Structure 1
Amino acid sequence: MLIRIKASDLPGRECGQTPDFPGYRNIHVGVQRRDRRDELLDLHPGDASSAVWELEVTATRRETGWDLRGPCVQGRPGARFVYLSWGTVDDAGVRAMFRRAKLSFDGIPATVLDAAVGNDLLVARLGLTDSRGHPLCAAVRPPLVEWSAPTV
């Protein structure tokens, strides 16, 4: 099955310093590989108009529902998620992560997940700027993300 993450409203390449935020320059976002914090899939600049990631996953039926697994899926059964990792890129191309958004699968309605498994496509739509204008972080569940299962 394919998970397509469609992101909009990126925060920009620079986020200024505030009393509780150190500020960053040349911001990028990508999907983190499982257990490999520094391996990011499809890095997008923070000022892109949108970002799309496509992740291959395997859906296995369990007593408690569907379990999604793949190279970028983190967590234990029942608590799976994908990290969208925010970082800076310096002039030499070296990346340094400073925060992550945890796109949690436990917020996917069961009917949507059933339909997605049936048609091999699950879509997540979300904005990537938080209420303060910074890169979105922490656990991301509805209503911050909209899950759907469009037909292919």
Structure 2
Amino acid sequence: MTRLTLRITGRDLPGRGCGDFSDVHAGVQRGKDPEQLVPADAEKALFDITADVVRVPDGTTDFRGPYVQGRRGERFFYLTWGELPSGGSFTMFRRAKLFFADIPEELVASGAAETSLGLTDCHGLPLCAAVRPPRVVWLPGAGGA
């Protein structure tokens, strides 16, 4: 088992007030909870996550860890969007899925990958749903194994 470190740099955030939402924040989902929350009017958002990389008996690669979602062969992680009023709690209203299978095998083997991703959709709202290439492009990351 090896460790994969991912850095996601979010740029072009939609703003704290977008659509019907206010006090908007973005984060990564760890289990069922958001973490690394960043206000959606920030210049950029940095998210760092890790996943364990394992070879399963059939020889394929699998991913495990608190950020990993989905079934084997369909693993992904979430960028989550929600409202976080001052003194209140985070209420999620949308998520974006990024898939481990879209990370090139050589980057998985190196132990580190990163991407820079626009986080506003074509309607000026927080990016959501499945985010696949060419929208997300994984590059070599620093700090690999």
TM-score, normalised with respect to structure 1: 0.83
Residue 9 of structure 1: aligned partner: 12
Residue among 115, 123, 141 paired with 2:132: 141
**SS of alignment partner, residue 137 of structure 2:** strand
Segments of 5+ residues of structure 2 without an aligned counterpart are none
Q: CA deviation at 1:151?
A: 5.5
Q: How many residues align?
A: 139
Residue 130 of structure 1: aligned partner: 121
Residue among 34, 38, 48 paired with 1:54: 48
Cα distance in 2 between the residues matched to 1:98 and 1:84? 11
Q: Does 1:44 align with 2:64?
A: no
C-alpha RMSD over aligned residues: 1.6
Partners of 1:119 and 1:151 within 8 A in 2:
no
Q: Does 1:97 align with 2:92?
A: yes
CA 1:47–1:75: 2 relative to 1, 3 Å: same
**SS of alignment partner, residue 134 of structure 1:** coil
**SS of alignment partner, residue 7 of structure 1:** strand
Cα distance in 2 between the residues matched to 1:140 and 1:33? 18
Q: Percent identity?
A: 45
TM-score, normalised with respect to structure 2: 0.87
Segments of 5+ residues of structure 1 without an aligned counterpart are 17-22
Residue among 17, 22, 25 paired with 2:22: 25
